[in-house]
Structure 1
Amino acid sequence: MKLLLTPIVLLLFFLGYSGTPTRQITGKVISSSDGLALPAADIRSLPSKTTAKTDANGKYSIKIPITDTHIEVSFLGFQTQKAAIKKADVINFSLADDVKALAEISVVGYGTQRKIVTTSASQHLIAGSPGAAASYLNGRVAGLQVMNDVNNESYAKISENNFKRATDHPLSTFSIDVDAASYSNVRRYINGGNLPPKDAVRIEELINYFDYNYEQPKGNDPVNIVTEISAAPWNKAHRLVQIGLKAKNIPTEKLPSSNLVFLIDVSGSMEAPNKLPLLISSLRLLTDNLRDQDKVAIVVYAGNSGLVLPSTSGDNKQAIKEALSKLSAGGSTAGGAGIKLAYKVATDNFIKGGNNRIILATDGDFNVGASSDTDMQTLIEEKRKSGVYLTVLGFGMGNYKDSKMEVLADKGNGNYAYIDDINEARKVLINEFGGTLFTVAKDVKLQVEFNPSKVQAYRLIGYENRLLNNEDFNDDLKDAGEMGAGHTVTALYEIIPVGVESKFLKSVDALKYQKTSSSSNNTGNELLNVKMRYKQPDGDKSKLLQKAVVDNGGNLLQQASDNFKFSASVAMLGMLLRQSEFVQQGNFDTAIALAESAKGTDKEGYRAEYVKIAKSAKLLAKDLRNFANTGEGK
């Protein structure tokens, strides 16, 4: 009998038989402070110590022995929580912040280690100077969160705009920018317990993440110019000018037909839950929003590129979704070959007068083929002549290549968004469907002329990588930004009025061969003149719009519109995160108070979420200073 049983036991062993029955437990893990999902949280079943992790949406599923009694959840910066396993197969967790745990973590370069603070960083933090925590931020740190791998994310360096004297530089010229990727990326850092690298903070993208209640354009022009002036909240002696552009709203049913190509990165770097799986879910949302007259093709690229789905009508949503669901990640990244194929498919199915667009979804980690920023820029600049626009959707973290993504979108006559969760996908691809995908004005440029009898100096806040030469404004061959249906664009200028002393203005010797004067032909109260040029989406010749701006000097910040106060708050937070030398008397409390007073209707809750982000950023900055003050880790 024993001889008979032995082979059976061995067979059951090799087949993985376990004598203990199991059960499946599922649930979701969120932060109790803001209700946001916590991805990659550690799930452990006790006493068996079976483990799992939450996905990009904070959900988990774990198969455990039926003898286990508890589920334990832990996540960096939050208090570990344990729950008894009862009859229910769904156990949700809401984790509270653990400030003490965060304070035990500091950053070294792009990686992080426990209980280590460099001496120079500590000195900056303790000093409380304008560069407090600058060694962390200016050193392009990842933040407070412990990471197993070195952070290889890349961001183009930003040198902030300085103040310019109106007598020496009466004109300021730049291309508009409707991208909002920087805000959702910064939010991802802060929600993960990190302060972002300073070069990840593009202030104009933080400001333009939000919609503003500007007046609709009237007449035949697709864009309207709106302006407002008040005191700068970070320096009451300075003035702040808001220039807003509003593109006309077009009902979805009246938008032109779309010829879309989903260009999807399926390389090995896209395996993570917050990359390809989130990408697929995002594009499935967009598919649900397609009309019968729209069509979609799917191109993928890894070691090689290929056509997964030929151009398919929007009335066959099931075929599109099935093609998306079959995608999997693996291989290296031949981005250049994929882009070429996508443009070919788009041009083969071109709709005259329609919306012809490639939607590139990737983490930007191009490493095979045309991989340098210069090569990719040249390729995109050539391909955009076909009349096909490019929208770029960024996903993931750790090896995220923001610098490449921005180049592609800027040079491809398109826009750029960072998708950190499914709610952001809904915002970009559903709520802002028209603005994201349907261009109403292209090559939009702004040129502002300052009156030297009123303006001593001025500074454009943000837009550092969008600056143009003054002569570019009238050059219709010069590329600039695009505006989609319903889009708003906001730009802020900080102004030092004539007669106000400022540390930002250094004296120079009088010129020998020419006279300098602050006199002006304008003797009225005109502060500046705004000029805008734009082209129709299929046009080659630009049209000029302009508007003079008068400053009566009596505008109190408290009386300013919600549009003005909210954009000023976002600009201040951006300067604080960048540890800007221009933040002056700005602080987190003022930024938060301004935003709380300017939420307006906030139908989607984006402004309320911003307030939570600002409060979290304040706590993270405080944690850094407090940790340095304790002297621990030295």
Structure 2
Amino acid sequence: MRQAPLSTFAIDVDPASYSNVRRFLTQNRQLPPPEAVRLEELVNYFHYDYPQPLRPDEPAALQAEVARCPWNPAHQLVLVGVQGREVAHTELPPANLVFLLDVSGSMSDADKLPLLKASLRELLPRLRPQDYVSIVVYAGAAGLVLPPTPGSRPREIMAALENLEAGGSTAGGEGLRLAYQVARQQARPGYNTRIILATDGDFNVGESSDAAMEELITEERQSGVFLSVLGFGEGNLQDSKMELLADKGNGNYAYIDNLNEARRVLVQQFGGTLFTLAKDVKVQVEFNPAEVQQYRLLGYENRLLAAEDFNDDTKDAGELGAGQQVTALYEIVPANVRPRVDPLKYQAGPADYGIVSPASAELLTVKLRYQEPQGSASHLLTLPVRNSSTAIEQASDNFRLAVAVAEFGLLLRQSEHRGQASYRAALGRAQSVRGRDADGSRREFVELVQRAAELSSEAAQALPNEEWRR
């Protein structure tokens, strides 16, 4: 712990993995592949009751809570929450939105281009007269099918959508270049300029490698144009590629598996999806070695940063949209828990740290660093967190919900750290959460846990027979 007291990561508000897991469990009626389960994206799919920032000049507020770990009672769990400032729809800056739509042959299925059209129809009523929409399409070649059009002319936007048909190969790189060109030409001071790429991610003409696409987007983001990605369909879904594009484009990635999810992403979370409050947002947690022997961040594997990256304002990180939240969970081995290793021969063990500092009542300190959307110098927020031995049953609704979702994810990932985790325990914790379930997401989550438990039981029952046949 004394050698690695800092944990640093870029925030992640992409909910795509949860939608993909839901598709496997409900539509495909099978457990998802473990690698498709990204814990942080499952946890961040849900809304938590975090307080708003107190200071008007700060875009975010920090929240933290500590309780005992239910799947390993000797350990503790720490919830770290970030709440982006809520901004009324009428107060959001004007939008310059360029929709880059994949109309290649792979998009012909009902859950691809037809669902994409239906999804964008849900967005049109949210557009204001000061918002502008352009549409660029790509298949064998790229083209502009709708020049910048104000939101007060929804019929023209709708007509351009209705005329789209799928066919041809996929010139993804050419489409991206044209979309950035259109976005830059329409960009105005004070506008939120963003490209929304909607695709199954199957790039096979032009720049198709991850490295080439990353280089293109990294160059273009310097112009202040953000890139968000909406994934559609299954079969050839290029999940990792779409996540990469959104990460490098200073945007977010959502997977649209049904029309309800489209409404959630494009209507209910309009501000968070399309308007950036802060960019290059990083979290760093410093653990007190007098209280913490070991720690483990749940998820965020592809968002980890070096400790020195936290203060490096040139290091790219995640973006926080209006009203968006970020939740992270740490599993901690307390300093008084006997380690599962031999005693150290050449340095003091956890019980021999020597003089305890006056800050030893603190378990850890959370730090958040962010930049303004068009700025370059970063700002810092900090939150010291005291130790606690609260049982998870007495923790807040926020904590119990996040832990239930994380436990569900550990089981789906078949994690070696799942300990005593069970679907029954996750189900009970989710059902114990009170308060409004405005979008029905908690009710749906309960159904998914029940479905995963059934599928896991079926798989376990089938295994002995399979082994016997061999």
TM-score greater than 0.5 by the shorter chain: yes
CA distance in 1, matches of 2:344, 2:337: 19
Equivalent residues of 2:67, 2:388 under 8 A apart = no
Superposed CA deviations along residues 535-567 of structure 1, whole A, max 9, x for unmatched, are 1111110001101100143x1211111100000
1:522 Cα offset (Å): 3.8
CA distance in 1, matches of 2:378, 2:288: 26
Superposed CA deviations along residues 262-294 of structure 1, whole A, max 9, x for unmatched, are 000001110100000001111111122101100
Assess, with a 3 A threshold, how the Cα gap between structure 1 residues 523 and 247 changes in structure 2: closer, same or farther: closer
1:502 Cα offset (Å): 5.0
Instruction: Look up the equivalent residue of 2:84 and give its one-letter code.
Output: A
Equivalent residues of 1:174, 1:463 under 8 A apart = yes
Aligned ranges 1:435-584 → 2 under 5 Å: 435-503=272-340, 506-507=341-342, 509-511=344-346, 518-519=353-354, 520-553=356-389, 555-584=390-419
Aligned to 2:51: 215
CA distance in 2, matches of 1:289, 1:420: 21
Aligned ranges 1:328-343 → 2 under 5 Å: 328-343=165-180
Instruction: Look up the equivalent residue of 1:474 and give its one-letter code.
Output: N
CA distance in 1, matches of 2:154, 2:191: 20
Aligned to 1:283: 120
Instruction: Look up the equivalent residue of 1:208 and give its one-letter code.
Output: N
Q: Per the alignment, in what secondary structure is the counterpart of residue 82 of structure 2? A: strand
Q: Does 1:196 align with 2:32?
A: yes
Find the partner of 1:347 among 173, 176, 184: 184
Aligned to 1:625: 460
Q: Per the alignment, in what secondary structure is the counterpart of residue 482 of structure 1? A: strand
Aligned to 1:304: 141
Q: Does 1:392 align with 2:229?
A: yes
CA distance in 2, matches of 1:187, 1:351: 39
Q: Per the alignment, in what secondary structure is the counterpart of residue 7 of structure 2? A: strand
Superposed CA deviations along residues 142-184 of structure 1, whole A, max 9, x for unmatched, are xxxxxxxxxxxxxxxxxxxxxxxx2221111110101000000
Equivalent residues of 2:291, 2:360 under 8 A apart = no
Q: Per the alignment, in what secondary structure is the counterpart of residue 217 of structure 2? A: helix
1:508 Cα offset (Å): 6.9
Equivalent residues of 1:258, 1:351 under 8 A apart = no
CA distance in 2, matches of 1:552, 1:200: 34
Q: Does 1:255 align with 2:92?
A: yes
Instruction: Look up the equivalent residue of 1:532 and give its one-letter code.
Output: L
Q: Per the alignment, in what secondary structure is the counterpart of residue 464 of structure 2? A: helix
CA distance in 2, matches of 1:569, 1:354: 40
Q: Does 1:356 align with 2:209?
A: no
Instruction: Look up the equivalent residue of 1:612 and give its one-letter code.
Output: E
1:510 Cα offset (Å): 3.0
Higher relative contact order (CA 8 A, sep 6+): 2
1:525 Cα offset (Å): 1.2
Assess, with a 3 A threshold, how the Cα gap between structure 1 residues 282 and 533 changes in structure 2: closer, same or farther: same
Equivalent residues of 1:599, 1:608 under 8 A apart = no
Q: Does 1:597 align with 2:429?
A: no
**How many residues get paired?**
465
Aligned to 2:423: 588
Q: Per the alignment, in what secondary structure is the counterpart of residue 50 of structure 2? A: coil
CA distance in 2, matches of 1:175, 1:627: 41
Runs of 4 or more above 6 Å deviation: none
Q: Per the alignment, in what secondary structure is the counterpart of residue 308 of structure 2? A: helix
Aligned ranges 1:93-108 → 2 under 5 Å: none
CA distance in 1, matches of 2:29, 2:154: 39
Which of 262-271 and 493-502 deviates more? 493-502
Assess, with a 3 A threshold, how the Cα gap between structure 1 residues 262 and 633 changes in structure 2: closer, same or farther: farther
TM-score normalised by length of structure 1: 0.72
Q: Per the alignment, in what secondary structure is the counterpart of residue 75 of structure 2? A: strand
Q: Kindly report the root-mean-square deviation, in angstroms, between the aligned alpha carbons of the 2 structures.
A: 1.5
Instruction: Look up the equivalent residue of 1:626 and give its one-letter code.
Output: Q
Q: Does 1:404 align with 2:227?
A: no
CA radius of gyration, larger in: 1
Superposed CA deviations along residues 490-538 of structure 1, whole A, max 9, x for unmatched, are 00000010121355xx3475348x9996345345310001111011111
Percent pairwise identity: 54
Q: Per the alignment, in what secondary structure is the counterpart of residue 360 of structure 2? A: coil
Q: Per the alignment, in what secondary structure is the counterpart of residue 236 of structure 1? A: coil
Aligned to 1:120: none
Aligned to 2:2: 167
Instruction: Look up the equivalent residue of 1:205 and give its one-letter code.
Output: E
CA distance in 2, matches of 1:346, 1:522: 54
Aligned to 2:164: 327
Instruction: Look up the equivalent residue of 2:415 and give its one-letter code.
Output: S
Instruction: Look up the equivalent residue of 2:108 and give its one-letter code.
Output: E
CA distance in 1, matches of 2:464, 2:228: 46
Aligned ranges 1:377-388 → 2 under 5 Å: 377-388=214-225
Q: Per the alignment, in what secondary structure is the counterpart of residue 235 of structure 2? A: coil
Equivalent residues of 1:257, 1:351 under 8 A apart = no
Superposed CA deviations along residues 176-218 of structure 1, whole A, max 9, x for unmatched, are 1010000000100011201111111000000000111000001
Equivalent residues of 2:214, 2:248 under 8 A apart = yes
CA distance in 1, matches of 2:440, 2:196: 27
CA distance in 2, matches of 1:429, 1:528: 37
CA distance in 2, matches of 1:515, 1:459: 19
- Larger helix percent: 2
Assess, with a 3 A threshold, how the Cα gap between structure 1 residues 507 and 288 changes in structure 2: closer, same or farther: farther
Instruction: Look up the equivalent residue of 2:45 and give its one-letter code.
Output: Y
CA distance in 1, matches of 2:308, 2:79: 24
TM-score normalised by length of structure 2: 0.97
CA distance in 2, matches of 1:507, 1:195: 39
Aligned to 2:444: 609
CA distance in 2, matches of 1:523, 1:391: 42
CA distance in 2, matches of 1:351, 1:425: 28
Instruction: Look up the equivalent residue of 1:365 and give its one-letter code.
Output: D
1:600 Cα offset (Å): 2.5
Superposed CA deviations along residues 203-245 of structure 1, whole A, max 9, x for unmatched, are 0000000111000001121100011111111111111000000
Equivalent residues of 1:265, 1:301 under 8 A apart = yes
CA distance in 2, matches of 1:390, 1:376: 12
CA distance in 2, matches of 1:509, 1:225: 37
CA distance in 1, matches of 2:121, 2:106: 21
Equivalent residues of 1:297, 1:312 under 8 A apart = yes
CA distance in 1, matches of 2:339, 2:35: 26
Instruction: Look up the equivalent residue of 1:218 and give its one-letter code.
Output: L
Q: Does 1:369 align with 2:369?
A: no
CA distance in 2, matches of 1:299, 1:597: 47
Equivalent residues of 1:215, 1:246 under 8 A apart = yes
CA distance in 2, matches of 1:558, 1:592: 13
CA distance in 2, matches of 1:227, 1:433: 26
